[in-house]
Structure 1
């Protein structure tokens, strides 16, 4: 797994392309069960030079729909997000490894419905039986979905 932070062989990081990122915590520790720790990840996502379209921070992993538009590669964006989140977690006293090495990425095809993908992402807490309504889960967002519905 020496190159697990790199894009899969043959994959090119394309500006303007949307990617669905999944990244897990080290040994699936439920670090983000505490809301404030999950917000550290959100701060990391907002620190990258790309457009966050949708995300959910689950107790032990994240799903992040991001569009590359700022000149950074996908690997650079994910690395920066993890770095910023980890630094903020350290400031709050979280010790030990935070992230599993690498991440899973899937390029969204141009003909796919990104709004449907965003809805699928934010419904993760429902499917995991963490809440009865996404309104009750504070660690998600999508630029098309009003959280106050």
Structure 2
């Protein structure tokens, strides 16, 4: 992204501050039209919030992006948190896609 360093200059996340984050799919692919993908992302957001000292206030999963309102509970680096979440989501989306391609609709019945 052009001029990212300028936008990030002087930014320092603080405890108990609210942040709104938008996570976009690569090439605007509608990954979250698929119910399993959207459900997986919702579960990941909940688990990630519990394990990373932040509160998820609310989120909206759209077909090509996610809007996420969160509150930091520690002096964690917001950029690193977002990067880690995106990595986890990507890994799990790849796994669920491979399983769905391999077993078809049966995966719907086995995932919880």
What is the TM-score with the length of structure 1 in the denominator? Answer: 0.55
Structure with larger Rg: 2
| Deviation (angstroms), 1:76 | 1.9
Moved more, 83-92 or 23-32: 83-92
How many residue pairs get matched?
94
| Deviation (angstroms), 1:71 | 3.8
Say whether residues 1:64 and 2:56 are aligned partners.
no
SS of residue matched to 2:60: strand
**Structure 2 unaligned regions, length at least 5:** 99-112
CA–CA distance in 1 between the matches of 2:44 and 2:2?
A: 24
Match in the other structure for 2:39: 39
SS of residue matched to 2:84: helix
The one of 67, 90, 95 aligned to 1:91: 95
Match in the other structure for 1:51: 55
Match in the other structure for 1:19: 19
Match in the other structure for 1:80: 84
| Deviation (angstroms), 1:22 | 0.8
What is the TM-score with the length of structure 2 in the denominator? Answer: 0.72
Structure 2 CA distance for partners of 1:54 and 1:9, relative to 1, 3 Å: same
**Bigger helix fraction:** 2
8 Å contact 2:14–2:74 — kept in the other structure? no
Supply the RMSD in Å over aligned alpha carbons: 2.4
**Structure 1 unaligned regions, length at least 5:** 95-149
